[in-house]
Chain A
């Protein structure tokens, strides 16, 4: 399989990259290339130019602070999975990255690339929603922060403008707070390895009861969703099997227009989301103890 022709630029700085994106209509940002290049090889994506940001320095660091962790957009999945800082501060990301794609994909694919591609079956977007992460983008007019809840707009569509580049993802260093636990579960497509359904749960306990919870489901809809009814149902209760099951039963309420394909119909995606939400909440609650 061969991609169509395109112009190729490899800027050394972010400013240069942003200028190139401004100048070349229809240009796409190339990071690890593991979402974009397969689409180009099948000729379903035919960008006129690629701006390869792979050599721009300073975009692949993981900086852990007390309250939050800043992750450079070019950080590979493998680096996330193996990061000692993240294992300490925000382990759900290590858990997620280790399930993402496969060994080779993890070695090349980047967090920023995956988020900017906004594939409904991707893993990171779901976790970012649950973590209430912040995406920092750089454009002509400088930097801006976009909350995860506002970042994913539609199928394969984000809030990023054509000449903006995602540079940093900021997530809470939740393990530094008392009694916070998280869990990501995924029902893996047997062929593509993508998430048929992915569920991310964050649970914070106060005096043995659920003080706060965030629950996100990906794969069932074009963008991951927060399950607020389920969350509300659980807040204030002890994280018993019954309480969690009752909360998880409300997951379906958050899933409007569920997707359907040969492997999993809408019904089954909702079923998976419900079962996996229960399991993820249980594990997150255990981890919070």
Chain B
């Protein structure tokens, strides 16, 4: 029986954070360190005519100034794309641009100085002469004739097109439909806004020609690979990448960024440690952003509410350059999710990925899946209203029955497990759904605009079987690594390729190891983030750490147990099959004779003394496993929200929020609940307040936290959470991802709640964010 897995252990990483001892990159201070700052474009689109660095170079305290050309002459390479869908055009992206600036924030030069203050002063002294060019910022307009061309390499601004599903079945469904729901929608641009701005520190050892780079990354090994093979040219064995404590990522710290190249390049050039720390404004104009879809979609139904077809065409704004995994998000993580929780045959989706004069777009918490859930659950909701069916009833009518798992959707995925009926039973009961509807009817009589929003969402988490990823365009594999090193005293270190930036792996992974080996969690140390210590690992994103990284740990533990059994069998003079490895205590004993036993520590010590090992068994007690998942896992959720809309001003107040999620087996309920609630609040941010807005010149209108509205504490009531657990058969822990479900479900749940509140006024759909003005205007328009 599991002793630690399934328990709400307090986090082991917390003592350092609550005492101000977090080890973030920006905290690193090295002797003789110099400070880097980047000169960035104030234009959305402009040709660089001249760069004059003389004044900046003369400022006392400035060590050197470099332009993009200096970097190219010094050997840097182009930033590569890690997900190449067929016939994709990946336009050139240098660490600092040389010909044109293509978005506000595009880097054109850099300064290294004795202090960060001087570097900032010097940046202001760099004179760049620009020829301003017309800009394009809209995903769909970019693909229209006559749109300003962002890259000559893609004269139509189209980077790629992609489609999936059964088009003929879809067309048939719409031909024979009783009812069709049509919807045009925009899934707006978001700015991820991890609280820690990105940072990099580089130290060059001229004697050994070793480079160490500390960077705020969710995946240090792939970053090292890209630096070595493509952008920096320092070989992998001479390059150490460390991603220490990282202050949140939400996807935005997956990607390979120019500053990770420039900082070590400059450090080597001036032979001094160099530090770069992003400001918030730089973060808003250079960290990859999220979502930004323009979509036409429709749903075919029978009169009884049976969904027979879904047809989607989306233009995905990829921004000014193709970021590392950008093409993955709107293809294999979006269109493949169009089946939702439902059994629908006729699904077809197609995608146009366009280039615009905006910050590059890539994965942001949910990444493709919230976009899919948003459109499906909006369509279902509208269908329910138009067919006069209760929104939960129409969903139940279309659920994939629990006895049909594994379920093959028409859009590639095979869902692992689920019980959507039970999920909704639970959320209905927790939220007291019937009462909510009765209360709503009462409130409406008094002229109050109360809305009850429902959504049921699916996620594909834990990417991915490497071969499948490869067939879809991935340049890398998506396995994960774990090395378990048991020391002679029986203490354990876990070297994981996963990376924690808030997820609590130091706790949950220790819980898993403790149960696998029968040791105490406090005797297990989880090490991550340092390529000099960990095996090559793929890192953390897509809610993959426990399902893929955790499974690697389980498999490595199994190898250790197997070795323990061999040593114990030899020393206890028993056959291996007569031995029991007691995972509660770590003891290996002879079946029926519990006193004939070897403790875990004894076996570890024996493995290292090697005085008495079975013939041929190598000494040492350390095992590594590279785990390649058999499939994604498919967490799912049912959320209900109640909101009130101010009839005079359009302000939305959340009165109640209930979330029931199936994230498979749960290792640490405290941490999982934290992930779900945090995710919900982020999802609500998209629904109500967040919008990375550009004007027609490509100016970002929300570049600081004065304009970009992330949720605050006073927007929320206490969120109620519940769970059902259907174990995923795809991994040894039975787990599914938990990091993104909240975000995926919350956005559309709130949107549906607001539309439900406004339904008596005839409002059908409002684009997000549902700011008071937009809601008020929609109410006016309907009158």
Contact = CB atoms under 8 A, between A and B. Distances in A.
A–B in direct contact per CB < 8 Å: yes
Interface of A: 1-2, 4-5, 42-43, 187, 189-192, 262-265, 268, 271-272, 275
Contact of A264 (B124, B648, B773): B773
A275 B772 CA distance: 13
Interface string B250-287: 00000000000000000000000000000111000000
Contact of A190 (B116, B121, B279, B689): B689
Interface of B: 116-117, 120-121, 124, 279-281, 648-649, 689, 691, 693, 701-702, 704-710, 712, 771-773, 776-777
B707 A268 contact: no
Q: Which 5 pairs from chain A and chain B are nearest by CB?
A: A190-B709, A191-B709, A268-B773, A192-B706, A2-B120
A42 B703 CA distance: 11
Nearest to A265: B773
Nearest to A189: B709
A1 B279 contact: yes
Contact of A268 (B689, B705, B772): B772
Given A190-B712, A263-B771, A271 B649 contact: yes
A2 B117 contact: yes
Contacts of A192: 706-707
B776 A262 contact: no
B648 A275 contact: yes
Contacts of B281: 1, 42
Nearest to B685: A190
Contact of A262 (B117, B121, B693, B712): B693
Contacts of B704: 42
Contacts of B279: 1
A191 B773 contact: no
Contacts of A191: 689, 702, 705-710
13 contacts: A1-B120, A1-B281, A2-B121, A4-B121, A42-B704, A189-B709, A190-B689, A190-B709, A192-B706, A262-B693, A264-B772, A265-B773, A268-B776
A70 B485 CA distance: 71
Nearest to A268: B773
Contacts of B649: 187, 271-272, 275
Given A42-B281, A263-B773, A5 B693 contact: no
B773 A5 contact: no
A30 B162 CA distance: 58
A198 to B, nearest CB: 14
A268 B117 contact: no
A69 to B, nearest CB: 30
Given A268-B772, A268-B773, A268-B777, A5 B709 contact: no
A192 B773 CA distance: 17
Nearest to B649: A275
B637 to A, nearest CB: 26
A192 B708 CA distance: 8
Given A190-B709, A262-B701, A262-B707, A2 B776 contact: no
B197 to A, nearest CB: 10
Contacts of B773: 263-265, 268
B776 A271 contact: yes
A271 B771 CA distance: 14
Contacts of A42: 281, 704
Residue from B121, B281, B693, B706 whose CB has the most chain A CB atoms within 10 Å: B706
A50 B771 CA distance: 39
Contacts, number: 50
A271 B693 CA distance: 23
Contact of B124 (A43, A187, A272, A275): A43
A191 B281 CA distance: 14
Given A187-B772, A189-B709, A190-B709, 6 more contacts: A1-B120, A42-B704, A187-B649, A192-B707, A268-B773, A271-B776
Contacts of A263: 707, 771, 773
Contact of B116 (A2, A5, A189): A2
B478 to A, nearest CB: 36
Contacts of A265: 773
Nearest to A264: B773
A2 B111 CA distance: 15
Contacts of A5: 121
Contacts of B121: 2, 4-5
A262 B709 contact: no
B39 to A, nearest CB: 13
A268 B708 CA distance: 19
Residue from B280, B693, B773 whose CB has the most chain A CB atoms within 10 Å: B773
Contacts of B116: 2
A151 B777 CA distance: 35
B116 to A, nearest CB: 6
A144 to B, nearest CB: 34
Contacts of B771: 263
A263 B707 CA distance: 8
Contacts of B691: 262
B214 to A, nearest CB: 22
A5 B124 CA distance: 13
B769 to A, nearest CB: 9
A264 B120 CA distance: 33
B344 to A, nearest CB: 37
B275 to A, nearest CB: 14
A193 to B, nearest CB: 9
Contacts of B648: 275
Nearest to B708: A191
Nearest to B693: A262
Nearest to B116: A2
A192 B689 CA distance: 12
A4 B771 CA distance: 36
A262 B772 contact: no
Residue from A1, A5, A43 whose CB has the most chain B CB atoms within 10 Å: A1
A42 B648 CA distance: 37
Nearest to B712: A190
Contacts of A187: 649, 772
Contacts of A43: 124
Contacts of A268: 772-773, 776-777
Nearest to B774: A268
A187 B117 CA distance: 37
Contacts of A1: 120, 279-281
A263 B773 CA distance: 8
Given A2-B120, A190-B709, A262 B777 contact: no
Contacts of A190: 689, 709, 712
A117 to B, nearest CB: 15
B220 to A, nearest CB: 28
Contacts of A2: 116-117, 120-121
A2 B113 CA distance: 14
A194 to B, nearest CB: 8
Contacts of B776: 268, 271
Nearest to B707: A191
B379 to A, nearest CB: 28
B118 to A, nearest CB: 9
A271 B710 CA distance: 25
Contacts of A275: 648-649
Nearest to A41: B279
A2 B117 CA distance: 6
A271 B772 CA distance: 11
A4 B706 CA distance: 21
A265 B704 CA distance: 20
A197 to B, nearest CB: 10
A263 B709 CA distance: 10
A263 B771 CA distance: 8
Nearest to B651: A187
Contacts of A262: 691, 693, 701-702, 707
A46 to B, nearest CB: 10
A270 B772 CA distance: 13
Contacts of B708: 191
Contacts of B710: 191
Contacts of B709: 189-191
Nearest to A278: B648
A268 B120 CA distance: 39
